[in-house]
Amino acid sequence: MPFRETRSPRVYVPVKSTHNFYDAKQYGQLTYLTQGTLNKLALVELYRVIAAALAGAEPDDYLMLAGPTTVNVVAASILSHRFGRINYLVFDGYTQKYVSRPIVIDNLEVENARTRESVQSPSGAGGGRPSDRGS
């Protein structure tokens, strides 16, 4: 069995800016997905840049939620497609600290089915959303 080098997780930061992300280093090495001026409407080019920056990403890495929405959405799409999960790193304004908020995408279909089943009543009458009842 070949030896596989382990590395500490990375924290992918959407945009390199003047903001101080130092406190996020406790979660791993900061790696910037983009820098400089971005055309937020050029999504194909944005995808190419972000996909290249995430080429070495691993399932235990983090995606910091910061900066332009388009960068966050493209990065999250890539990571969720590749790994079936996203480890978000979110700044909690109340505690002034970064917190980890992982989401396992593979489990969402199961959870959604359970939610739909619990909303509908056993007899089929009532329950559910108004659109489910024909109202």
Is 5 a residue whose pLDDT tops 80?
no
Q: What is the pLDDT of residue 25?
A: 96
Q: For 68, list phi and psi in degrees, rounded to 5.
A: -60, 140
The answer as to whether 134 is a domain residue is no
Number of domain units in the chain: 1
- Average pLDDT score over the chain: 84
What number is the average pLDDT over the span 98-113?
A: 79
What percentage of the chain reaches a pLDDT higher than 70?
76
pTM above 0.85, yes or no: no
- Residues 38-97 have pLDDT tens digits of 888 899 999 999 999 999 999 999 999 999 999 999 999 999 999 999 999 999 999 999
| Residue 34 falls inside a structural domain | yes
CATH of the domain at 98: 3.40.50
d(CA 48, CA 69): 16
Assess whether pLDDT exceeds 90 at residue 123: no
For residue 99, pLDDT over 70 is answered with yes
Structural domain span for residue 15: 10-124
Q: In what order do the strands lie in the sheet with 62-64?
A: 29-35, 10-16, 62-64, 85-92, 97-104
